[in-house]
């Protein structure tokens, strides 16, 4: 690091600059978690690194949980389409797609051959 920059991580000023760079260049999920850290540990580089590593390591677990929720929603949606399942629906039946040309011909009394 000293080769590429004049930043000295051993000094207090260098540590603060390094922490700010680390927070600024972190991805969104890690940055949000790091910004929630309060108290004296909020400016400790080791604590920030440990927390960032923990969030990074748990990404795959969060991804798996999201995929389980998605799969459950797909299965639930598939079951919804089956006829005869579940309680009967109340109210009038839903109308399907309306063919505008057919309705216009009914109202005007024209047939498709007369158009």
Domain positions in the chain:
12-67
| Cβ atoms of residues 24 and 52 within 8 Å | no
DSSP letter for each residue of 23-72:
HHHS-HHHHHHHHT--GGGGG-HHHHHHHHHHHHHTHHHHHHHHHHHHHH
Spacing of C-alpha 63 from chain mean position = 10
DSSP code of 11? S
Angle at 88 between CA 78 and CA 95, to 5 degrees: 80
| Cβ atoms of residues 59 and 28 within 8 Å | no
What pLDDT is stored for residue 3 in this prediction?
Answer: 65
Q: What is the pLDDT along the chain (115 residues), one digit of tens a residue?
A: 556 677 777 777 777 787 777 777 888 878 888 777 777 666 777 888 888 888 888 877 777 888 888 888 888 777 665 555 666 677 776 767 777 777 777 777 776 555 4
């Amino acid at each position: 690091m000293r080769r590429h920059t004049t930043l000295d991580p051993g000094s207090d000023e260098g540590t603060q600059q390094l922490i700010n760079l680390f927070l600024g260049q972190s991805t969104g999920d890690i940055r949000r978690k790091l910004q929630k850290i309060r108290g004296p540990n909020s400016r400790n580089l080791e604590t920030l690194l440990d927390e960032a590593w923990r969030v990074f390591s748990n990404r795959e677990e969060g991804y798996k949980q999201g995929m389980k929720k998605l799969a459950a929603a797909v299965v639930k949606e598939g079951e919804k389409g089956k006829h005869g399942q579940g309680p009967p629906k109340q109210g009038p039946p839903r109308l399907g797609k309306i063919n505008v040309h057919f309705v216009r011909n009914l109202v005007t009394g024209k047939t498709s051959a007369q158009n």
